[in-house]
Amino acid sequence: MPYTLEHKSQSRDRILTAAVDLFCRFGFDQISITRVMKQANMTHGAFYAHFKSKSELYALAIRHAAMQSLWVKEQHNISNIGHFTTLIDAYLSLAHVNQLGAPCPLAFLVTDVAHCNDAVRESYQQTFQAMLTSMSEQLTALGLTHSYSLAQQILTRLVGTVSIARTLADKDLQQSLLENSRRDLHQLLAPTAVLHK
């Protein structure tokens, strides 16, 4: 048997990884199946042995991106507020905006997903809810009150800042936007600010 189960699973993973990278970088509609498969080192005919449509790939790519994202990977290592704000800084970094590491699908695909079918939107929504819940629990564990609404506040700010920053051609404006959000969120989470509330 020339193709093992593991081989298939590896191929599938390469497709998903390529899809996340390309969809985030250029948008779903601008990326053809041929291009995704090329980046995954296969030809486009092989695609349909793994996914039933391009649309299905999108829904699964969103979940894949979420699993690879910094927030999800680090979520169980957060033991103090310092660590939490470190993740915020990473999210609001130029490296993230320029997609050097694993991109957060919430910020990189927002508008795109709004135009898609129910399966894709549900995938996005589940990712959003999972991150919201996880962040809320972390904030509670760190001793903060109103943690769910606080998490919502932080997450919308993160997504808004990064998605806008990505559109800006002016590097100074981009930098100042990111810095400003970092500063605001640090202040929001500073122990003193919380105690005085």
Instruction: Kindly state whether residue 182 participates in binding its own copies, applying the rule CB under 8 A.
Output: no
Q: With beta carbons less than 8 A apart as the criterion, state whether 23 and 58 touch.
A: yes
Chain residues that interact with DNA, rule: CB under 7 A: 2-3, 7-8, 11, 31-35, 37, 41-50, 52-55
CB of 137 to its own copies, least distance (A): 17
Angle CA 5–9–15, to nearest 5? 145
The span of 13-21, 40-48, 74-82, 175-183 binding its own copies (CB under 8 A) equals 175-183
112 contributes a contact to its own copies by CB under 8 A:
yes
Contact between 103 and 20 under an 8 Å Cβ cutoff? The reply is yes
Residue 177: DSSP 8-state: H
Structure tokens at 12: 């599938």
Query: Interface with its own copies includes 152 (CB under 8 A)?
Result: yes
Separation in Å, CA 116 to CA 36, 113, 119: 19, 5, 8
Which residues contribute to the site for its own copies (CB under 8 A)? 25-27, 29-30, 106, 108-115, 118, 121-122, 124-125, 128-129, 149, 152-153, 155-161, 163-164, 166-170, 173, 177, 180-181, 183-184
